[in-house]
Structure 1
Amino acid sequence: MCPPPDSPTSITTFSLPVSKGTILVHTYGSGPKLLIALHGYDYDGQVFADWAAPLGSRYTICAPDLPFHGGSEWWAPEFKPADWVEIISGIAAQQGKTRYSLVGHSLGGRIIVCTAAILSEQIEQAVLLAPAGIGAFDQVAPLVVQQLAERATGWTRGLQFLVTLGARLGWVSTFHRRYAEAQLYPPDKRYRLFRTYNSIRNFRTTAAPTLQFWQATTLPTLIVLGSNDRFVPNPKIRAYFAANPACTVVEIVGTHDLVNATTAQLLKGRLPN
């Protein structure tokens, strides 16, 4: 949904073979502790490159490209929580670590929210940057409806005509017109969008086991929100974590793009030494 940073460069990468594909992992820094960082939709692991300088002496940052993103190869039509348990555990094993901190931005935050219950014994701290799927897009259309929508939007000329007509008549906002141009017209972007959309139906933040975990967990968790975020509903995210004293919500000046130098400095004072 958001553009990647300008010309980021990872220090090293490695390929992690897993059951359903191969995950490309970018690494930054060489610190003794492990920080596994999950990016949001339409980014890749290189978005965390700017964290190398402020955090790299304390942490080795491993940032995998999500399935259908960047240099990762994924053979299944969707991904599920069990796949992410395998990926995160595989990264930790590759780094020779049994404990680690997890950071997730947007979609990456949603993945952590829905897998932390399984991995909690290994997680030292969780950090959620503008986590998606809380208070909005928790439930998505049934798979058959998604498949019909994918077929319909595959007729690009017809879609362009309808979007243009809708914009002229005032039925389609400028935001949605630009979104269609960026995410639905190019075939590769459309494929990524629907494969990701198919997948998030497996990551429901209001599923009973997930809700119960976040109401009772003692896992130290920092939630960072941007004051001008248009993509996630900050009040609903606050309410979701409000009952648990282990969860701290911090709001900073910013938009949805929270993987930046400001958040790196914030984490520098909050992550375990």
Structure 2
Amino acid sequence: MFYRESPQPPEAPVMLHVHGFGLSGRYLLPTAERLAGEYHTLVPDLPGFGRSGKVADALDVPDLARAAVRFLDDRGVERATLVGNSMGCPVICEFAYRYPDRIDRAVLVSPAGGLFNQPLRRAMGQISRDGAREPARLMRVVTPDYVRFGVPSTVRMFRALTTYPSVERLLELQIPTLAVLGDRDPLMPGPARVQEVAGQTDNHVLVVRIEGAAHAINFSHPGELANVIRLFMHDRPIVDDPDSPGHSRVYEIHRGTHHPPAKEGDAQG
């Protein structure tokens, strides 16, 4: 597996960044690099993706979770916080389900793969609309990844995602969990559905929305996302990034009671 690693000392808390569908970890670097001063960041390309080796058989979500834990084993990492985008979120949910003693916290950015993204033609339409909402420079990063991944792999991986119980695994998480959504993301359901799902959890999920963001938040809004992750990791109230004034407003839409309550006005833009 090809991977990128920050020069942080080994004793720093480990943060593993997990990429989305058909992509490499390259587009996650803007956020990962902003967190590298505090965390030992690892950004791999999962098997069959990006610059990692091809695999003989098609992998599903549990296979990718197993690959992630083997990767941590190879690095000598016992526990880590996992930060995922899109398809990376189901992989993290499976990782937490299968290996609960190996994960400290979960950060799910634009989680995808549920009923709202099915069937394939609907997902392709959502991805097309999202492309028009992302920064133009993102296409220069992800297009080579999509070409390398190929159409047959896309169809197989989409089939694996549609059969994976994403919502069930999310509801089974027993660790502090942060979900970050963009209010311009066509791959995400509306606020009512988000509230419905969040309300079914065991009060351990914090849901934050970034105004003006679409799906690839790790690339398009790295300052705001890194700020939210940092606050979540320290159990502090969610506030806007002071270094990005006026760019995008960050606000909570759900907070479980297992999280310290935000002070009035702390989530304001």
Common topology (TM > 0.5): yes
Give the alignment of 1:48-87 within 5 angstroms.
48-87=28-67
Please report the TM-score for the alignment, with normalisation by the length of structure 2.
0.67
Name the counterpart of 1:256: 215
- Note if 1:239 corresponds to 2:196: yes
Stretches of structure 2 that go unaligned for 5 or more consecutive residues are 133-138, 236-269
Question: Helix, strand or coil: the match of 2:101?
Answer: coil
Q: Which whole-Å CA distance do the structure 2 matches of 1:27 and 1:58 have between them?
A: 13
Higher mean Cα deviation, 115-124 or 229-238?
Answer: 229-238
Contact 1:29 1:52 in 2 (8 A): no
- Note if 1:230 corresponds to 2:230: no
TM-superposed deviation, 1:220: 0.8
Q: Which whole-Å CA distance do the structure 1 matches of 2:207 and 2:92 have between them?
A: 16
Letter in 2 for 1:24: F
1:89 to 66, 69, 87: 69
Question: Helix, strand or coil: the match of 1:223?
Answer: strand
Name the counterpart of 1:149: none
Taking only the aligned residue pairs, the percentage that are identical comes to 23
CA deviations over 1:119-152 (Å, ceiling 9, x no partner): 22211000110011133235669xxxxxxxxxxx
- Note if 1:43 corresponds to 2:23: yes
Q: Which whole-Å CA distance do the structure 2 matches of 1:68 and 1:117 have between them?
A: 23
Letter in 2 for 1:270: F
Contact 1:29 1:59 in 2 (8 A): no
Aligned residues: 211
Contact 2:93 2:173 in 1 (8 A): no
Question: Helix, strand or coil: the match of 1:136?
Answer: helix
- Note if 1:271 corresponds to 2:251: no
Superposed CA RMSD: 3.2
TM-superposed deviation, 1:250: 0.7
Question: Helix, strand or coil: the match of 2:117?
Answer: coil
Contact 1:139 1:201 in 2 (8 A): no
TM-superposed deviation, 1:72: 1.0
List 4+ stretches of structure 1 deviating above 4 A.
Answer: 138-141, 210-213
